[in-house]
Amino acid sequence: MESWLAIVVGFMYAAGFFMLLRRSLMKVIIGLSIFTHGANLLLFTAGNVTRVGDGVQLPIVPHGAAALTGAYADPLPQALVLTAIVISFGIQAFALVLVRRAYQAVGSDDLDRMTSTDTEEGALLHELPRRRGSVRGFLPWRRTRAA
Amino acid sequence: MVWILISLVVAALFAPLVTRLAGRSCGRVLALVPAAACAWFATRIPAVAAGERLVEPVAWAPSLGVSADLALDGLSLVFALLVTGIGALTMVYARGYIGNDPRLGRLNATLLVFMTAMLGLVLSDDLVTAFVFWELTSVSSYLLVGYDHANPKARAAALQALLITGAGGLCLLCGVILIGSVGGTYSVAELVASGDVLRESSLYLPILLLVLGGCFTKSAQLPFHFWLPGAMAAPTPVSAYLHSATMVKAGVYLLARLSPALGGTDEWLALLVSFGAATMVYSAVVAFFQTDMKRILAYTSVSALGTLVMLLGIGTADAAAAATAYLIVHALYKCALFHVAGIVDHECGTRDVDRLGRLSRAMPITCVAACLAVLSMAGLPPFLGASAKSLVGHAEHALHMGPVEWAAMLTVLMTFAVGALLVWRTFFGRRDGEDLPKHPHEAPIDLWFSPLLLGSLGLVLGFFWGPLAHHLLEPAAAAIAPGVAPELHVHATAGAYALKAALAAVGLALYVKRRPVVRALRLWSVLAWFGPERFYDRGLVAIEWVARAVTRRLQSGSLRTYLAIVLASTMVLAGYPLLKNGVPLPPSGSFDIRVHEAAIVLAMVLATVFVMATSSRLAAIAALGIVGAGMSVTFLFFGAPDLAKTQLAIETLSVLLFLFILYRLPPLRQLSTRLQVWRDVVLSITVGGFFALLVWGLTSVDGASRLSPFFAENSLALGKGHNVVNVILVDFRGIDTMGEITVLAVAALGVLGLMRVHVRERSAS
């Protein structure tokens, strides 16, 4: 099963990364969310994953026992992932509000047109060229420039 | 001694308040604290002279071998007396000089902080503690030089002083750590007692160079000397106290302190004597070409520091005693002269020697103080300077090195010329017609008190050479060069007097012919273009340029750039160890899957694909919810009910949040060109493939945590909880959870802040 999960992790990373590279702000936020799922699943899978049942117990000390013995699901990655889930929620909430606020201020949801932090009219008034097959903006580290 | 340090800190804390309440007399009130400290140290003189070493153990971090032990021996005592005594006079003088400036409270507080740091430095027995105080003197010096913070020149000078002494401080820290690891202790007393351990170590040369790097920058030796004349941008009381009498001597102090453990080798002798002598003669000559009184004094201070370093390099008991004597004399006369320069500046509005002249009539008391100080500086009997200089001369002579003696003679000669320039020109010389910015008149008592006292001390102590030598110089010399008693009896021969008279004559002749000499040598100023200061300026510009270039590349403001950098670094850093032993293959038997698991995984993948493809916001959010729920179910299948619950709760909240914001955002748009989409597809598949490989690599090694059995065993016993995951979160790794909560709180504050901005704007419009 680990290998299937590994493939899912890779897929989540790929999908999240693809969405993060979009110019639409909304898609970037969605990408962040998918990326987070991928990272959490990576942490979870990297510690041994075990199916419950078949003699493997939950990481909970049974009543009457003094300690957890025998085979059990590894509690440590679970604790780490739990922290990560909560933190990612905080980040996501902040990012969402930030995006909403930025959209309001700049008046554009296009990352490539958000060249300034506080100019409402500076949110590039002219339309960017969108020619099919244009090589402009191919290099990922170059921001697409207005013609 | 701890109480002295504490009371100084307390005085610093209350200094702004006292300054406001006490008004005119605040300087005198605040001076009581260092004056009392000085008196206490004075009462220790007999005990220390009898050979005692007063130790006050203070525990700091015993597990690291670091203590804050304070120790008072002859060397520390001399410095402690100077720091507290001159410190008290500085507090009085500062009030008179600064006047009713609202920043006076801050200045007083910073001066007291500096005093604490300097006193702590000379009293601490432990090198780590000493280093902390050392850095504190640099920081307080930065604040004091930059006192006039509205003036860009003062800010630049403060930064220059901080950067150079700070860089030296880093060197020193490395040196201290090496000393600690070689010698096995940070305690100076133990290091000295351990004999040749440091000198015989293979790390001796690095240690020596690093320590010298710290001491030479602090004590303004060539080629790091230029920050000291620059630091004259500080108010005069600060220049007098820090940049002449005390702080710049911290480097000298540390050299003296470490000399029994590090000194006495050929390297020590060669480095200290050559750098010291070069600094001594170079600065003495350069001083003559200045016209600003403070800059003249700054260069003569650098020259004196060079002399002290050279004497410590010679390292004999005689040289050590000469260094101590010269240190005391220099502190007395140089501080007095700085104060005189401050008075002249204060009362005449300028301190340019070419504009000044004939001030003796207008300010007689200041004139007397200046004459007393300069005669001590020139080393004329019966002043204390005479005996000190005579000892210095003997120590230099005993070295039997021609160049050093020539350099020393040239320095003495220049001292006469500079002394005449400073005092004769200012107080008795002809004033060239031009009116001074202010009408000169005598300064108030707060100002002339300290130079007069210091100048008189130079004269009076000259008559008490014997007791002084016995009570202060001998114990200090014993701390610097233990074992041998120094020869302190000053016996001047007729030849020595004749030589001195000849040098004085030449020096005074140089002064008389100053204008032609300066004009003839003006071409030399071209050399400044190749000087270390230019190197510093260029270096600063280069650092800024590199920083700007790096920032422009890395902090471009483009999300894609950030992502590319982060992911590329991750892939390189994690990829190398991962692929070093070949591509990891999935472990055997890891592809088994049950139907319900396959269904969930498939649902998650399909939902993700749908999210990417759809242009409907609502549909995207719903599909994201499915992915989150799938995560939750996956957690449940693999024995993580807590994760499943949390994920489900968070997912619900996320969907709600998305829905709230959703209709305030534009619809999902396809903005990229087809080429960009394909580029991103390729990049994403690379990233995804890498992470899949990473997980394969991670699961194929034995992933059983070595920590988990501990948690499983002790969850109930120590954490009193049945649910191991929960116990880890709130107990074993409680601080992590604390951090997590902090992140949430910060995010919540950020959200609130962003929302409020919005509200305010709307109500405004």
Minimal C-alpha gap between B656 and chain A (Å): 11
Minimal C-alpha gap between B611 and chain A (Å): 8
Helices (H) then strands (E): counts for chain B: 33, 4
Could you state, in order of their start, the residue ranges of all structural domains in chain B? 1-163+231-254, 263-520, 709-765
Q: Does B136 touch chain A (CB under 8 A)?
A: no
Q: What is the dihedral of CA B665, B668, B672, B673, to 10 degrees?
A: -140
User: Do B719 and B732 touch, CB atoms closer than 8 A?
Assistant: yes
Give the tokens for residue A4: 């299937």
d(CA B348, CA B183): 56
The predicted structure's pLDDT at residue B233: 86
Task: Tell me which amino acid residue A140 is.
Answer: P
Instruction: Give the residue on A whose Cα is nearest the Cα of B717.
Output: A66
The predicted structure's pLDDT at residue B639: 85
Q: Does B646 touch chain A (CB under 8 A)?
A: yes
Mean pLDDT across chain B, nearest whole number? Answer: 87
Q: How far is CA A52 from CA B238, B605, B640, in A?
A: 74, 23, 9
Residues of B (649-678) whose Cβ lies below 8 Å from A: 650, 653-654, 657-658, 661, 664-676
Number of Cβ atoms within 10 Å of the Cβ of B720: 9
Decide if pLDDT at A81 tops 80.
yes
Give the tokens for residue B604: 């998650």
The predicted structure's pLDDT at residue A143: 47
The interface predicted TM-score of the complex, written ipTM, equals 0.81
Minimal C-alpha gap between B729 and chain A (Å): 6
Pairing of strands B66-67, B70-72: unpaired
Output the furthest CA–CA distance in chain A (Å, rounded): 74
**B683/A79 Cβ within 8 A:** no
Closest residue to B691, CB basis, from A42, A44, A87: A42
Q: What is the share, in percent, of chain B residues with pLDDT greater than 90?
A: 36
d(CA B169, CA B131): 8
**Residue entry with tokens 């405004």:** B764
Q: Does B196 touch chain A (CB under 8 A)?
A: no
The predicted structure's pLDDT at residue A121: 46
Q: Does B628 touch chain A (CB under 8 A)?
A: yes
Across A125-129, A140-144, B563-567, B636-640, least confident range: A125-129
- B170 or B439, higher pLDDT: B170
Decide if pLDDT at B581 tops 90.
no
User: Do B642 and A78 touch, CB atoms closer than 8 A?
Assistant: yes
**A30/B586 Cβ within 8 A:** no
Give, for B109, the enclosing helix (H) or strand (E).
Answer: helix B104-123
The predicted structure's pLDDT at residue B528: 63
**A27/B638 Cβ within 8 A:** no
The predicted structure's pLDDT at residue B688: 93
The predicted structure's pLDDT at residue A120: 47
User: Do B254 and B312 touch, CB atoms closer than 8 A?
Assistant: no
Number of Cβ atoms within 10 Å of the Cβ of B422: 25
Decide if pLDDT at A61 tops 60.
yes
**A41/B714 Cβ within 8 A:** no
Give, for B544, the enclosing helix (H) or strand (E).
Answer: helix B532-554
User: Do A110 and A27 touch, CB atoms closer than 8 A?
Assistant: no
Over residues B63-76, the pLDDT tens digits come to 887 888 899 999 99
**B560/A141 Cβ within 8 A:** yes
Residues of A (93-122) whose Cβ lies below 8 Å from B: 93-94, 96-101, 103-104, 109-112, 115
Q: Does B733 touch chain A (CB under 8 A)?
A: yes
Tell me if residue A119 falls in helix, strand or coil: coil
The predicted structure's pLDDT at residue B566: 87
Helices (H) then strands (E): counts for chain A: 3, 0
The predicted structure's pLDDT at residue A128: 42
**B605 contact residues in A (CB cutoff 8 A):** 8, 11
The predicted structure's pLDDT at residue B747: 92
Minimal C-alpha gap between B587 and chain A (Å): 8
Q: How far is CA B635 from CA A113, B355, B407, B631, B707, in A?
A: 40, 86, 82, 6, 21
Bridge partners (DSSP) of residue A57 are A72
Over residues B523-560, the pLDDT tens digits come to 666 666 667 788 888 888 999 999 999 888 777 777 88
Minimal C-alpha gap between B618 and chain A (Å): 12
**A20 contact residues in B (CB cutoff 8 A):** 559, 563
**A14/B689 Cβ within 8 A:** yes
Give the mean pLDDT of A55-74: 83
**A51/B725 Cβ within 8 A:** no
Task: Tell me which amino acid residue B481 is.
Answer: A
Number of Cβ atoms within 10 Å of the Cβ of B530: 9
User: Do B431 and B357 touch, CB atoms closer than 8 A?
Assistant: yes
- Closest C-alpha to B81, from B454, B391, B460: B454
Decide if pLDDT at A123 tops 70.
no
The predicted structure's pLDDT at residue B703: 57
The predicted structure's pLDDT at residue B64: 80
d(CA B19, CA B522): 47
Instruction: Give the residue on A whose Cα is nearest the Cα of B591.
Output: A1
Backbone angles phi, psi at B184, to 5 degrees: 80, 5
The predicted structure's pLDDT at residue A117: 53
d(CA B668, CA B97): 69
Residues in chain B, total: 765
User: Do B433 and B351 touch, CB atoms closer than 8 A?
Assistant: no
